Amino acid sequence: MLTDYVKQVSLEDFGWEFQHQASFNKRLRTTGGRFFPSDGHLDFNPKHLEVYGESLFRQIVRHELCHYHLYFQGKGYRHQDPDFKALLAKVNGCRFAPRLQEFSHTYQYQCQTCYQVYARRRRINLKKYVCGKCQGPLMLVKKGNQS
């Protein structure tokens, strides 16, 4: 289904065929998509479609198709290449995918002696670790959630 959508975008916006596979990759965190020159397939972050909708996702697809088509035409397909910048502007693709929600610090610890606060994503062993400032004992202050 995603491959069919990418083929449609390729024909409508570029006038060239997309002949490989496209898939969603849930492990992508900081990018909207990736192009793999080794076998020509494209990966996309499904969160961008969920959060920002089809309009922005289409711009991300255009961005990855710029890499794809320029690579197979033997032109400059990297972000800094003039061929890439020109084609991206021509098809109105997005230069950078917008950031998804940031990961908040889940655990907050505080030194019982000097009151220094530490924010951590993972739990720490309070019997093993002490304050880096005064070597005092730490205590768990807040156990939050991801935002």
Taking residue 138's Cβ as centre, other Cβ atoms within 10 Å add up to 21
Residue 145 burial (CB count, 10 A): 6
The one catalytic residue among 12, 17, 64, 102 = 64
Question: Is the Cα torsion angle 5, 7, 8, 12 positive or negative in sign?
Answer: positive
Burial zone of 42 (CB within 10 Å; 0-12 exposed, 13-18 middle, 19+ buried) = buried
**Is 64 one of the catalytic residues?**
yes
Give the residue numbers annotated as catalytic, written as ranges: 64
